Amino acid sequence: MHEMALVRSLVEVVLDYAKKENATAVREIYLSIGESRDVVEEYMDGLFKFLARGTVAEHADLIMVRIPYTVRCNQCGQIFRLNVFDESTWVCPACKAEKDYTLNTGTEFRIEGIVIDHAETPQAGTGENAGGDEV
């Protein structure tokens, strides 16, 4: 189950970020996951909850977006979607070159964003904004 290693690294990155930002809670984590990453999203979510328990990220939601395979034709430069199970998609729709392309997307595993809460930090001073940040 390779999800364990991926999620362990994800939790480490998220907690490092949360600590650096003085977060009181991590609400959401946005991920881009390529089609070639053979991960089971339900496992990812469950493992994240398990590995993040007792931390500021224990109640965070993982929001995962799957990125399809796309390739760039080496003949004309056209980028097109490729279905590895359907050979009819292995031909460039623009110039009809067959199986002459370079992988463009589909291998990602990337954190796109982390939504956190901060502790209210009182600010010294006087005036309307004394005592906190205006959001």
Whether 73 is in a domain gets the answer yes
Whether 126 is in a domain gets the answer no
- Give the total number of structural domains in the chain: 1
CATH of the domain at 44: 3.30.2320.80
pLDDT value at residue 120: 65
Residues 6 or more apart from 44 whose CB is under 8 A from it? Answer: 3, 6, 7, 62, 64
- In degrees rounded to 5, what are phi and psi of residue 46? -65, -45
The H or E element spanning position 26 is: strand 23-34
The H or E element spanning position 41 is: helix 41-51
pLDDT value at residue 61: 96
pLDDT value at residue 42: 87
Mean pLDDT over residues 13-40, rounded? 94
Cβ proximity of 7 and 109 under 8 Å: no
Whether 68 is in a domain gets the answer yes
CB environment 6-19: b (16+ within 10 A), e (fewer): bbeebbeebbebbe
